[in-house]
Structure 1
Amino acid sequence: MGKCPIVLDRLGKDIHAEARTLRAQGPVTRVELPGGYLGWSVTDYAVAKQMLVDPRFPKNAKKYWTPLVNGEVSMDWEMITWVMMENINTRDGEEHDRLRRLIGHAFTPRRVETSRPLIEKIVGYLLDDLEAAEPGEPVDLKGRFTYALPAWVICDMFGVPTEARKRMLQGAVANSKTTITPEQAEANLLQWHEAMTELVATKRANPADDLTSHLIRAREDDDALTDDELLGTLHVMLGAGSETLGNVMAHAIVDLLANPDQLELVRSGKAEWEAAFAETARKDSAVAQLPFRYAAEDVEIGGVRIEKGDLVMIAFAGIGRDPKVHGATADDYDILREDKTNLSFGYGPHACLGRSLATLQAMVALPALFERFPDMRLATAPEDIPPQGTFIMNGYDTLPVFLH
């Protein structure tokens, strides 16, 4: 008889403890998701890397996830957005490549570098805003800096009007939470969809030099996008472009403040800021468990048999600390670590489009923050910082610090 599935903690109270529990069961472990749906979680670096390029594990739930194909999945399931959305994260092969080409040009390293002046300007504004905080007052650095920066940048890239940004971004944040009720999930999806529809209508009436207008032109000129694909692309880009980098930068700040010797390495020039960011990305991937892939056929992998139609999650946060790769120090933050091997930005056809943009933002923001506030310290012990409240993302709900 097989082992009982491990029920994923929907609160995400300790992402890494859960990853260790999963890994102890083997490279690929049977898990239970909210709603009672069963699947598999991959915590092994080598197995995950193999799976991320294996065409037997596509991402289109509507074609390959047996419960959905058979009409057995409730449409008010709190994670329904992840399987029903039509975008580059739920498409494979030529369909995926077509969608990726439409937006990929905006994220080439050369094009990203042209965003540096804008990023520097936003960072300066956010730091000035933080400077105005009352002395001795704890400040939420996630809400006011690590999340605010990428949210601002991605909204500018897609031409989101200032007055619409709060609704847009609230929907993205709520979509990653696995603690909300099915009713709340349905209401969030509805309001988020309405906000995206309003953005498209605004850009159709007043096109500009932004990515939303570009996607609309592709839809109307070449019939390259369906309406659902257009909205789905906006959903994934605005959500991923804000939440993921915000999480990694928050972890980087905690890593540095909790390890003064490591902070001194970058301050003294003995280590590069890019190395500090890369080590955090390894140690604390922005994503804990990425939904979803599905077995297109029966597959033997990682010592288990995954049956056709089964759901699979990649445990990126756990994979970054795989002891088979990083040994006994896998949990340690070590900027000088020579091998920072990880999959935190994905691998293969679905690798993160925004890696260059994320790195540039971090390389502008982190040095500027620590230079402006050299006496900054955590307002609570690292282990007491509240988690985000989801098993999908690996982040903090808030990041309280004293700036002075």
Structure 2
Amino acid sequence: MTTVDDPATAAERCTPEFRRNPHPVYANLRETAPVCPMRPPHGIDTYLITRYQDARAALADPRLSKDMYGAMDAYRRIFGDSSVALDDHMLNADPPKHTRLRKLVNSEFTPRRVEALRPQIQDIVETLLDGCSAREPVDLLPAFAFPLPITVICELLGVPPDERSQVQEWSTTVAHTGFSKESKQAQQKAEESLHAYFADLLTRKRSRPGDDLLSALTAARDTDGGLTEQELISTAFLLMFAGHKTTAYLIGNAVYHLLTHPAQLRAVQENPELVGQAVEELVRYDGSVESATFRFATEDVEIAGTRIPKGALVQIALSSANRDPLKFDSPDQFDVTRSENAQSAHLGFGHGIHYCLGAPLARLEMQLALTGLFSRFPRVALADPAREAPWMVVPFPAFRGLAELPVVLEPAVL
């Protein structure tokens, strides 16, 4: 077995330099340390997996548990005690609990329910674009990329319109938590507020059910074998949290890369049927979920010649796996005409039993967002093309997204 000790890798992954372009670092790790021990800012020894085949296998390996209660000490150290009340959901569960929760949510979060949102999503896209200045620079993240998915997920869940901005604020605070005392205190307050909010909302759904996902899940809660009250609250939080940030950053990343690859943008504009393939390629090329959520080893596990000891945390670098040349030809090339088989092989939405439940909704939002934006404003351009893209610097790289995206929707003709 090989052993690698590179604690600098963890710190390097949080620097502005790495956030601007992590792929050379990942390429080096795939070659020299495909399973790399490191000490992230949370202080718990973690093993980072970077190769495609190893990552795909690890995502489906039952020895790498998602049950947060099995690693409670580590979980509490990373996220704090207050997170537990909101995290009793399928993403943090193993079978048989995961199987039960996933089946119950799948029964209501159906492709038919997602497809029924198409007209609403199109209307939201148009309304948001109506509110953007056409000739003056506009930051497309707060103006378009962020409000679109939060509005869609609130429509899906049945969150009243006048309550959505507050829910978004709490969700944003939870997503941007760090490791300082002040950050953890803000996170705890936001988590407690979200827990209380969803508990109250679910009470209202019981007395006045609507045609929304939370009403349907609440009805399932009140039948034998349904979700417990705590699971219902946690599931509402999961759907809100996972359905917002990831899609928002993905839209921002997608627009940026299309604008900086004009030949690829022209291909999509001239051949609208390519938009589905373009979305898959954008998820592969620079998706918003850089690393899968934590797992921990329930026993000693050997991957690529490296022993991961029982109890260690494991992070799977999806961004690295999706650029592995052993799986994808010319992986650092952005190509919307890449074969569909190659595109569908990406791990941007995960793999195995924890494959992203909301992937169909994210795909639909992406397709309608890109089609709406580039159809209505075909000459949209970066406000300052010479400026380097400002990528977020986060405590640990779970998400990958821009800090801002200034564009001009209708540039003046010179």
Cross-structure match for 1:379: 383
Matches within 5 A, 1:166-245: 166-179=165-178, 181-222=183-224, 224-245=226-247
TM normalised by structure 2 equals 0.88
Amino acid at match of 2:208: N
Cross-structure match for 1:331: 332
Q: Please state if 1:259 is matched with 2:261.
A: yes
Q: Which runs of 5+ in 1 are unaligned?
A: none
Q: Residue by residue, what CA displacement relative to the aligned partner does 1:72-122 show, whole Å, maximum 9, x if unpaired?
A: x448x4697389711010011121111112221344333322221111111
Amino acid at match of 1:349: I
Give the aligned CA root-mean-square deviation in angstroms: 2.5
Q: Please state if 1:393 is matched with 2:399.
A: yes
1:330 and 1:83 map into 2 onto residues whose CA distance is: 40
Cross-structure match for 1:105: 107
Cross-structure match for 1:7: 10
Q: Residue by residue, what CA displacement relative to the aligned partner does 1:3-51 show, whole Å, maximum 9, x if unpaired?
A: 1333244467334355345435422111222221111111111011111
1:81 and 1:215 map into 2 onto residues whose CA distance is: 22
Residue 19 of structure 1, aligned match among 26, 39, 49: 26
1:80 and 1:148 map into 2 onto residues whose CA distance is: 27
2:386 and 2:202 map into 1 onto residues whose CA distance is: 41
Q: Please state if 1:298 is matched with 2:305.
A: no
Alpha-carbon contact 1:11-1:178 (below 8 Å) kept: no
Alpha-carbon contact 1:179-1:389 (below 8 Å) kept: no
Amino acid at match of 2:10: V
1:298 and 1:376 map into 2 onto residues whose CA distance is: 52
Alpha-carbon contact 1:23-1:29 (below 8 Å) kept: no
TM normalised by structure 1 equals 0.90
| Cα pair distance change 1:82/1:57, threshold 3 Å | farther
Cross-structure match for 1:31: 38
Residue range with higher mean Cα deviation, 232-241 or 199-208: 199-208
| Cα pair distance change 1:79/1:125, threshold 3 Å | farther
Matches within 5 A, 1:40-79: 40-64=47-71, 67=74, 73-74=76-77, 77=79
Residue range with higher mean Cα deviation, 389-398 or 4-13: 4-13
| Cα pair distance change 1:49/1:82, threshold 3 Å | farther
| Cα pair distance change 1:79/1:330, threshold 3 Å | farther
Q: Residue by residue, what CA displacement relative to the aligned partner does 1:158-200 show, whole Å, maximum 9, x if unpaired?
A: 0001122122222333323254622222222222223322322
Cross-structure match for 2:369: 365
Residue range with higher mean Cα deviation, 141-150 or 192-201: 192-201
1:46 and 1:349 map into 2 onto residues whose CA distance is: 17
Amino acid at match of 1:190: E
Alpha-carbon contact 1:61-1:90 (below 8 Å) kept: yes
2:61 and 2:55 map into 1 onto residues whose CA distance is: 10
Alpha-carbon contact 1:78-1:178 (below 8 Å) kept: no
Q: Residue by residue, what CA displacement relative to the aligned partner does 1:121-175 show, whole Å, maximum 9, x if unpaired?
A: 1112112112xx162x221212221222121111001000112212222233332
Alpha-carbon contact 2:289-2:319 (below 8 Å) kept: yes
Query: SS of the residue aligned with 2:295?
Result: strand
Please state how far the C-alpha of 1:236 moved relative to its aligned partner: 0.9
Cross-structure match for 2:150: 151
Q: Residue by residue, what CA displacement relative to the aligned partner does 1:295-325 show, whole Å, maximum 9, x if unpaired?
A: 1111111221011111111111221111222
Please state how far the C-alpha of 1:59 moved relative to its aligned partner: 0.2
Query: SS of the residue aligned with 1:291?
Result: coil
2:386 and 2:353 map into 1 onto residues whose CA distance is: 35
Residue range with higher mean Cα deviation, 296-305 or 112-121: 112-121
| Cα pair distance change 1:20/1:304, threshold 3 Å | same
Equivalent pairs: percent with the same residue?
Answer: 34
Cross-structure match for 1:96: 98
2:220 and 2:110 map into 1 onto residues whose CA distance is: 19
Please state how far the C-alpha of 1:377 moved relative to its aligned partner: 0.4
Alpha-carbon contact 2:298-2:310 (below 8 Å) kept: yes
Alpha-carbon contact 1:168-1:196 (below 8 Å) kept: no
Alpha-carbon contact 1:65-1:309 (below 8 Å) kept: no
1:198 and 1:21 map into 2 onto residues whose CA distance is: 50
Residue range with higher mean Cα deviation, 202-211 or 82-91: 82-91
Alpha-carbon contact 2:109-2:213 (below 8 Å) kept: no
Residue range with higher mean Cα deviation, 267-276 or 390-399: 267-276
Alpha-carbon contact 1:241-1:354 (below 8 Å) kept: yes
Q: Residue by residue, what CA displacement relative to the aligned partner does 1:202-234 show, whole Å, maximum 9, x if unpaired?
A: 323322221111222222222522222111111
Q: Please state if 1:310 is matched with 2:312.
A: yes
Query: SS of the residue aligned with 1:305?
Result: strand
Query: SS of the residue aligned with 2:326?
Result: helix
Please state how far the C-alpha of 1:365 moved relative to its aligned partner: 1.9
Q: Residue by residue, what CA displacement relative to the aligned partner does 1:271-314 show, whole Å, maximum 9, x if unpaired?
A: 61111111100011221122211111111112210111111111
2:301 and 2:320 map into 1 onto residues whose CA distance is: 22
Cross-structure match for 1:121: 123
Alpha-carbon contact 2:86-2:191 (below 8 Å) kept: no
